[in-house]
Structure 1
């Protein structure tokens, strides 16, 4: 996925096509959010065919890459970011924002600030729910494994 992020042709997006850029960004975030919620639901209803241990981490990584691509495209517009010029900068900023540790890249424009707020809220809602579901899934797997071990010995 990370290789795809660095190879993805993002040049058609940016300030010269704002409607397309915002639409692609919003649809990508919506798709990942819906897929995450589906995984959360599968964990909550204990669907046996679900694979949240694989899918949730991939979707969480994909959400980071969607925000990174959005920041990279947004940074092409003058005045939106200070210190964000490359895809690596965008990935760094997304990760630092996700970890809420702050950093040397600053959103200066209103659009950059709005997307940063959206990322923080998205993280609180979707990534926290996904991480909680993943933790629950792993805990249930460990419990089942211990029960099988006890039954095998008994």
Structure 2
């Protein structure tokens, strides 16, 4: 049989393409984080920095809520797993860029000097590990850390819960279909 291997259906090009596009978007987010001139933010342009931070976080939150709504309404045409994953990647990089910009201001952070440090601190904070090698010292850095913890608790937890609900429903439907045959 042409196009089939060991009873498995041939991968549909239309099913693979959205995953490929979203993978490229994730790579673009990471590349942008490392390539954008973040040194121009922070103490040089504090108002722009805070406005960008607020706008990006608000945008990601709205998009996350939209995906959660799609799951709750059980919209079969949506792909929340991929979109939510991308939005989580984006939110991590928004916080990392903010920490990096804040670290340019003396006294805000101890131990945070590079973009990798900022990304590491963001992931460690997201995971609630807190090794203590990088610490927010200034009030602005501490406020952003509290915002990240709250943001993660509210939006990312809701998104993860929606995804697990969607996955569980898909497994149950698949099991029910298998029994009815």
TM-score range, shorter chain: over 0.9
In the alignment, the residues of structure 2 paired with residue 70 and residue 94 of structure 1 have an alpha-carbon distance, to the nearest angstrom, of 10
Q: Aligned match of 2:78 in 39, 50, 59?
A: 50
User: Given the alignment, which residue of 52, 55, 59 partners 1:24?
Assistant: 52
- Residue 166 (structure 2) pairs with residue 123 (structure 1): no
Q: SS of the counterpart of 1:89?
A: helix
Matched, 1:133 2:162: yes
Q: What count of residue pairs does the alignment treat as equivalent?
A: 152
Q: Which has the higher contact order (CA 8 A, sep 6+)?
A: 1
Counterpart Cα distance in 1 of 2:81 and 2:179: 24
Residue in 1 that maps onto 2:95: 67
The CA deviation string for residues 97-151 of structure 1, in whole angstroms up to 9 with x for no partner, is: 1111112101000000000000000011000000000111111111122222223
Unaligned runs of 5+ in 1: none
RMSD: 1.0
Q: Look at both structures and tell me which one has the larger radius of gyration over its CA atoms.
A: 2
Which consecutive aligned stretches of 4+ in structure 1 deviate over 4 angstroms post-superposition? none
Aligned position for 1:94? 122
Distance 1:64 1:32 in 2: 11
Shift of 1:8: 2.0
C-alpha distance in 1 between matches for 2:31 and 2:171: 33
Q: Structure 2 length normalisation: TM-score?
A: 0.81
The reply to whether residue 84 of structure 1 matches residue 147 of structure 2 is: no
- TM-score normalised over the length of structure 1: 0.95
Q: Secondary structure at the match of 2:40?
A: coil
Q: Which 5+ residue runs of structure 2 have no aligned equivalent?
A: 1-28
